[in-house]
């Protein structure tokens, strides 16, 4: 089955992903797409500690994820794919061998060069442009931190109506 | 809260859990000031880690209690342990854990007290009926 959730979340694997999304979805695996984590055994061990033993974690670079997307779709289990940055998700959307229909903005937190859009979304101008570019490649961008929240469209995110 | 006691540990976690559980410790023991609450709400990975580092340095504490074993505050605390090997991190913290910890003043090191408290907290988790 296709990956159930393509999520941008700068905390990567954490409680909201594993419990908030993982439990209602019946999560079987997480693809953590991060070029630094993919090269660090120590970081990988750290993230594995946060996941129940019934959930597999696959650590890959952006380039590897783009090649392997077809493999993920062939997996019968429910999967979540995570990137820590908008840039990484854009690179994946542009280079993936299969189309990505939707991208979830789950958490991009405060930084000095970012402006607040939502309680859990802060963006630079470059990140705003990158989200537009993701949509231009056919992936609908919505912000939704948890399944129980209403998904907000990209115009709603950028207007910051719900901040 | 008891203003005479300096903080001996940080309680870190999601939402208002840290502040709530520290408030409960204070209500029960009067020793809530032995703990400093730190919430990850609205913070990114780097801000959580820098916030915990700042509190550790500010209060000279060597113990962090967290809620979820896989939560962002636990991951940040484990990253800090690479630089501060003497740090003790207790995950899955509950009220029993913290009450035991705040009563261990002076009789054990903070790390020993934290491990003792973790044992008490684990033992307190009980299913009744059903």
Flag whether residue A35 sits within 8 Å of chain B, measured between CB atoms.
no
* pLDDT score recorded for residue B97: 97
Q: Can you tell me the distance from the alpha carbon of A146 to that of A21, in angstroms, rounded to the nearest whole number?
A: 7
Q: Can you tell me the distance from the alpha carbon of A107 to that of A83, in angstroms, rounded to the nearest whole number?
A: 10
Question: Taking residues A13-28, what's their average pLDDT?
Answer: 93
Asked if the Cβ–Cβ distance from B44 to A46 is below 8 Å, we say no
Asked if the Cβ–Cβ distance from A109 to B75 is below 8 Å, we say no
Asked if the Cβ–Cβ distance from A51 to B71 is below 8 Å, we say no
- Joined together, the tokens standing for residue A9 give 């979340």
Mutate which of B17, B18, B71 to disrupt the A interface (most A C-beta within 10 Å)? Answer: B71
Question: Which chain A residue lies closest to B80 (C-alpha atoms)?
Answer: A46
Q: How far is CA B48 from the centre of its chain?
A: 14
pLDDT-derived band at A81 (thresholds 50, 70, 90) equals very high
pLDDT tens digits, B32-61 = 999 999 999 999 999 999 999 999 999 999
CA atoms within 13 Å, Cβ hemisphere of A110:
9
Residues of chain B with C-beta less than 8 angstroms from the C-beta of A51: 70
pLDDT-derived band at A162 (thresholds 50, 70, 90) equals low
* pLDDT exceeds 60 at position B4: no
- Joined together, the tokens standing for residue A141 give 């961008």
* pLDDT score recorded for residue B73: 96
Decide: B36 and B59 in contact? Cβ < 8 Å. yes
pTM for this structure? 0.88
Question: Which chain A residue lies closest to B43 (C-alpha atoms)?
Answer: A109
Of A49, A84, A109, the CB nearest to B69: A49
Residues of chain B with C-beta less than 8 angstroms from the C-beta of A10: 44-45
* pLDDT score recorded for residue B5: 66
* pLDDT exceeds 50 at position A53: yes
* pLDDT exceeds 50 at position A69: yes
pLDDT-derived band at B2 (thresholds 50, 70, 90) equals very low
Strand locations in chain B (E) = 9-13, 35-39, 63-66, 88-90
Q: What percent of chain B has pLDDT over 70?
A: 95
Q: What percent of chain A has pLDDT over 90?
A: 86
pLDDT tens digits, A100-159 = 999 999 999 998 899 999 999 999 999 999 999 999 999 999 999 999 999 999 999 999
Question: Taking residues B16-30, what's their average pLDDT?
Answer: 97
* pLDDT score recorded for residue B1: 44
Q: Can you tell me the distance from the alpha carbon of A75 to that of B44, in angstroms, rounded to the nearest whole number?
A: 31
pLDDT tens digits, B99-117 = 999 998 677 899 999 999 9
Question: Taking residues A88-111, what's their average pLDDT?
Answer: 92
Decide: A110 and A116 in contact? Cβ < 8 Å. yes
* pLDDT exceeds 90 at position A99: no
Asked if the Cβ–Cβ distance from A120 to B42 is below 8 Å, we say yes
Residues of chain B with C-beta less than 8 angstroms from the C-beta of A84: 45
* pLDDT score recorded for residue B3: 45
Q: Can you tell me the distance from the alpha carbon of A97 to that of A18, in angstroms, rounded to the nearest whole number?
A: 27
Residues of chain B with C-beta less than 8 angstroms from the C-beta of A107: 44
Residues of chain A with C-beta less than 8 angstroms from the C-beta of B17: none
Higher-confidence residue of B6 and B15: namely: B15
Residue A8's nearest CA partner among A46, A62, A67, A45 is A62
Question: Which chain B residue lies closest to A116 (C-alpha atoms)?
Answer: B42
């Amino acid at each position: 089955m296709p990956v159930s959730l393509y999520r941008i979340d700068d905390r990567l694997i954490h409680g909201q992903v594993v419990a908030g999304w993982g439990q209602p979805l019946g999560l079987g695996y997480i693809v953590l797409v991060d070029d630094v984590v993919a090269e660090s055994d120590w970081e990988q061990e750290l993230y594995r500690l946060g996941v129940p033993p019934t959930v597999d974690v696959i650590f890959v670079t952006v380039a590897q994820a783009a090649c392997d997307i077809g493999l993920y779709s062939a997996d019968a289990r429910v999967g979540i794919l995570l990137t820590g940055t908008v840039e990484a998700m854009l690179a994946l959307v542009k280079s993936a061998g299969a189309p990505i229909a939707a991208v979830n903005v789950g958490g991009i937190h405060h930084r000095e060069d970012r402006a607040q859009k939502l309680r859990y979304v802060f963006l630079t101008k470059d990140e705003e442009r990158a989200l537009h570019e993701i949509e231009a490649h056919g992936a609908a961008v919505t912000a939704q931190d948890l399944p129980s929240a209403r998904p907000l469209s990209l115009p709603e995110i950028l207007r910051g109506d719900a901040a | 809260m008891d203003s005479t006691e300096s903080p001996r540990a940080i309680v870190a976690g999601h939402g208002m859990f840290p502040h709530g559980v520290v408030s409960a410790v204070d209500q029960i023991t009067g020793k809530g000031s032995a703990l400093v609450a730190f919430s990850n709400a609205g913070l990114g990975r780097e801000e959580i880690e820098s916030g915990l580092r700042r509190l550790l340095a500010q209060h000279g504490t060597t113990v962090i209690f967290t809620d979820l074993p896989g939560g962002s505050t636990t991951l940040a605390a484990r990253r800090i342990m690479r630089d501060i090997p003497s740090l003790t991190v207790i995950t899955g913290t509950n009220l029993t854990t913290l009450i035991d910890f705040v009563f261990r003043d002076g009789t054990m090191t903070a790390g020993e007290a934290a491990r003792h408290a973790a044992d008490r907290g684990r033992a307190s988790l009980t299913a009744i009926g059903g």
